[in-house]
Structures are given as structure tokens and as C-alpha cells.
Amino acid sequence: MIFSSKLIEDAVQEFSKLPGIGKKTALRMVLQLLKMQREEVEIFTGALARMRQEIRFCNTCHNVSDGETCAICANPGRDHSQVCVVENIRDVIAIESTRQYSGLYHVLGGILSPIDGIGPDQLYIETLHNRVKENGVEELIMALSPTIEGDTTVYYIARQLKDLPVRITTIARGIAFGGELEYADEMTLARSIAKRLPIENYVTVHNKV
């Protein structure tokens, strides 16, 4: 694409650095900014710049935070004896958005993946160990991807913590609500039969959701 304005060209160039944004989409966004009032665009760019400048990571759980401790860890109304272990902050947002979980989190920053060069030292496993040891955590809920890497990470962490008095659970795997049995993969289907629940539990869970 050829632009007669350097200002437009630079803005399009910058937008197309974002994931999944090609030149055409970038141009559409730039033209949208052009249509907006100057003050609105200042608010837009200000919010992005401030986010990147001021964002911090929680000292305790490594979630993104506006201060030293994130809003979740700082909330006395939450259950501090439960910690949900996740891969990244996107997972925290996903679980928070269900409004069904009231414990804390621990963001590992990834999962073990020898092929990508990610070993235990690249993840926040040591701080998890310290938290469990010092903060009276009673249950760790492992909410990692159901992949070989995810399972390996769960197994590794469980071994690291085996001498501590903490209960380790994993989130349930099974057929999704609204999912069709015939399209489920064999592994999921087999596991969901093996881990079947008494009907009373089903009704409770169903009504709660």
C-alpha cells in the first residue's frame, strides 16, 4: 500500500505489529481514529500507554496488578486457603469471568516444555512452593491445559510439594455443556465415562451453573 502521508503510514505500520492485524485492517483502524475526536484519541492512546507503563505483576501470584499486590490477593473476602494454578493471566480472566471461583490464583507463566526450552526454572514453581509452605494453603487446584505438557507440569509440581500438607486437585475434564457426544475425542469421552458422577451431583452442578 502506498500512503501519501507519513503520519498515516507510521500509524498503519504500528497497528500492523499487533497479532492478526494485516495492513488493510490496520488502515481501517487508523481511519476510524481519524473520525474520532482528538480528545477521544488522546484517551485511547493514553489508556494504552498508561497500561504498559504502570502495570505491575503481583508479588504473590504473578497475576497482572495495578499495585504490588493484585486486587484478588488483596481481597480479604476471598478464600485464601484455595489456590488455582494457571498458565497465564488470560486463564485468570477466563476463570474470573465465570464468577464461580472465590479462591486465589498462582500464575506459572507457562508450562513445562522441553522442546521450547521451558524448564522448572523458567516458571514460578519455587514461589508456589513457598506460598504453600508459608501461607497455609490447603488446596491447589491445577487448571492447566489437558496436554502432555500440562499433565507433566501437574505431575512435576505434585512431586515437588509431596511433603507439604496440601491437597492437590485438577479441574474436571469431560464433555462440554452443549457438546455432542459423537464429536468428542476418544480420550475425553473415555475419561468422562471413567469419572462419571452420581446423578445428584450432576443436578446440583447443573443448577448452580
Q: Where on the chain is the footprint of a copy of itself (CB under 8 A)?
A: 1-8, 10-11, 13-15, 17-21, 25, 27-34, 36, 38, 40-55, 63-66, 70-72, 89-90, 92-93, 96-97, 99
Supply the DSSP string of 41-108, one letter for each residue. Answer: HHHHHHHHHHHHHH-EE-TTT--EESSSS-TTTT-TTSEEEEEEEESSHHHHHHHHTTT---EEEEE-
Give me the least distance between CB of 179 and a copy of itself, in Å please.
Answer: 20
Strands 56-57 and 64-65: antiparallel
Q: Which is nearer to a copy of itself, 53 or 207 (CB)?
A: 53
Q: Which is nearer to a copy of itself, 21 or 184 (CB)?
A: 21
Strands 139-142 and 167-170: parallel
Give me the least distance between CB of 70 and a copy of itself, in Å please.
Answer: 6
Q: What's the CA gap between 123 and 111, in Å, rounded?
A: 7
Give me the least distance between CB of 23 and a copy of itself, in Å please.
Answer: 10
Q: Which is nearer to a copy of itself, 61 or 125 (CB)?
A: 61
- Across-strand partners of 56? 65
Q: Which is nearer to a copy of itself, 89 or 166 (CB)?
A: 89
Give me the least distance between CB of 67 and a copy of itself, in Å please.
Answer: 10
DSSP state of 157: H
